[in-house]
Amino acid sequence: MTLLEGLLWLTLNVYHEARSEPQVGQVAVALVTLNRANEQHLSVKAIVQEPYQFSWTFQKESYLPEDPKAFLECMKSAYLALQTEDFTQGATHYHLDSIKPYWSANYTYLNQFGSHKFYKE
């Protein structure tokens, strides 16, 4: 996989998961994606496309962004994540603060960025 393809999939994940978040929240989502890829020794594309890992991949009919301006902002956040030290403390999972998924009880809560709570095993 090329760097450009990885950046595209990272950006798509940030766009669909956190485009309404402040930049720190978008970068945190990108870092989780990168942490999973590094931990599992898989490409960003493979991590994003894993079944039932990111809700947009099975809830959306199209991966194409509908808001070009938001997509570019998410690309900036994805690019920043590639250059930033991991401030999520190795987070590999997150969820909106308005829900409490069953798996969160088995993970260590780390922090909240924007409206997402971040965890690791």
- 18 lies in some domain: yes
Q: Is the residue at 55 inside a domain?
A: yes
Q: What is the CATH number of the domain that holds 11?
A: 1.10.10
Reported pTM: 0.94
**28-56 pLDDT per residue, tens:** 999 999 999 999 999 999 999 999 899 88
State residue 58's pLDDT score: 84
Count of domains for the chain:
1
Mean pLDDT of the chain: 95
Which of 2-6, 39-43, 116-120 shows the lowest mean pLDDT across its residues?
Answer: 2-6
**Letter for the amino acid at 45?**
K
The burial of 70, by beta-carbon neighbours within 10 Å (0-12 exposed, 13-18 middle, 19 or more buried), is given as middle
Q: Which residue range forms the structural domain that includes residue 53? A: 3-90
111 lies in some domain: no
For 98, the token pair is 């308005």
User: Would you state the pLDDT for residue 59?
Assistant: 80
Residue 118 resides in a domain: no
Average confidence (pLDDT) over 58-82:
91
